[in-house]
Structure 1
Amino acid sequence: MGVYDDVLKSGDWPVIENRPFVDENEAWPPPACMIDQITGEFSIYYRGEIRPADREECEGLEIAAVWEAQHIVDRIMGEDKWHLDPNK
């Protein structure tokens, strides 16, 4: 998960452990959905590449974002409002 730099430097989030990835493939996050705020078009971001997609391909994927501290707390507490709702 990407977080803003100030979240990491605030001192509010101590590093508990730093575990290296087994290999380069494991270091990549899963695909994420991107939704253009102007056109409403969908894309998928994966391994540094962005490709066009449709709504169905994005269902169930996390929406790509950089997170503020409160969003991280929400996610730890089980809030999943950042996944695309297939019913909307």
Structure 2
Amino acid sequence: MDLLDLDDRSLAARLRGGASTVADHLAAVRARIAERDPRYRAFSALAPGALGEAERLDALPAGEKERLPCSACRSPSRRSWTSPAW
């Protein structure tokens, strides 16, 4: 299963339930960029603090993860961090 193919609600459920971590998702994003950016040349840099923020979010207790905002709650049809080109 590719984390980047999940819709927002499924990804949020996996993150909140501990089946995946934010760091796992970030690693998948970086791998996809490394694979496809030579063709598209769409990325110049990633946020320098992205991995640290992912680790901070992963360390939150489960109860606090339940309170994190989720864009899927407002837009169930929108894909998570992906576009048709990717």
Relative to the length of structure 2, the TM-score reads 0.25
Higher relative contact order (CA 8 A, sep 6+): 2
Which is helix-richer, 1 or 2?
Answer: 2
